Amino acid sequence: MLRRTTTRVISRTLRLMTLPAVLLTLLGGCAALPALDSRDFDARSYQLYYGNDSAELQRLSASLGDHEVLILDSRKIAPASLQAMLQRARDKQARVLGYLSIGELDSRERARFDAFVATLPVDQQQPFEQLVVEWNDKFASWRIDVSAPLWQRWLQHQAEQLAAQGLHGLFLDTPDTVDRYLTHPNWSREQRIEKTRAMIDLIRAFKQQRPQDFIVLNRGLNLIGEAVWLNDDGSDTIAGLALMQPHPDNPDAVLYENAYASDDPWTQRIEADLRATAAAGRTQVFTLGYRDTIGDAARFFARNNSDGFIGSFAASSTSLHQTGTEPAVR
């Protein structure tokens, strides 16, 4: 695989032009860089777990492989347990990543968000309803307009807290909120472009300011190709992340969740982009298969390996709070 360090050839001046201004200013004040540098790191496997059960955390720690990525919701884990996990990761040259929702605010986080806003100067505050795109009933969360400066400040506040825990990078969840931007019935074409570009810039902002971190993008698959479709037939587009091309601030990996569960034209197009991304060797492709949608783990891993991806398996999308993923047999 080509090392991603070979892609860091675009000048810093050009990179700064694409970064949301508020987030750029705030990111400059992050905590000290993590001990493990991921700019020359390629994952060999990954595991994901959203819960905090001590026995499951011990299992994941004991099974941590060389150059493995472990994705956790570190906010739920006792500091002593997390530090033991981080030490184990250092011994194995592995990486432990923290969870960060960039496109949605969970209703359980609303009080913490409001408390953060109250600490800001009045001229930096905004009414909450100005940030909200819509309510996500399935996950009891609000989809957010990520172009809002207040939202960018909130994300930076959380990123700083995760960095202070000694984590080696971030798992950026809910970027697929951008799908609602692309189809918003009350936004003009110019507004849809503005919001979509804000999401792309936001994704790249984390890597730009902390290049040593390992950054994984969870879903957001409409953004990963050379072009983002603004209409159904792809005749109207804007530039996407183009993960198969050199860019110093693109994420280190993208997660294809519920992989191989469909075979419609959209899925075929996205999987072609993912195969091109994996073949280019600049952004790695992680896949997550679910037993309740694809059934057979052996069939999943056979297709995954053929495509050149790095796979894990789980019972369902709702089981990851109880037990971690099942990595491929090493």
82 found inside a domain: no
pLDDT for position 329: 56
Q: How far apart are CA 102 and CA 199, in angstroms?
A: 9
Q: How far apart are CA 82 and CA 90, in angstroms?
A: 12
**CA-based nearest residue to 41, from 283, 316, 275, 297:** 283
Using one digit for the tens of pLDDT, what is the confidence trace for 127-157?
999 999 999 999 999 999 999 999 999 999 9
Domains: count for the chain: 1
Q: How far apart are CA 137 and CA 132, in angstroms?
A: 14
Q: How far apart are the first and last CA of the chain?
A: 19
308 found inside a domain: no
Token pair 């825990």 is found at 165
Instruction: Please state the rounded mean pLDDT for residues 90-101.
Output: 97
What is the residue range of 239's domain? Answer: 4-40+104-294
92 found inside a domain: no
pLDDT for position 5: 43
The average confidence (pLDDT) of the chain is 90
285 found inside a domain: yes
Q: How far apart are CA 145 and CA 127, in angstroms?
A: 13
Task: Say if residues 63 and 55 touch (Cβ distance below 8 Å).
Answer: no
Whole-prediction pTM: 0.90
Residue 21: band (very low, low, confident or very high) from pLDDT cuts 50, 70, 90: low
Looking up residue 262, the CATH number of its domain turns out to be: 3.20.20
306 found inside a domain: no
CA 99 remoteness from chain centre: 8
300 found inside a domain: no
Task: Say if residues 12 and 24 touch (Cβ distance below 8 Å).
Answer: no
146 found inside a domain: yes
111 found inside a domain: yes
The sheet with strand 132-136 has its strands ordered as 104-106, 141-144, 132-136
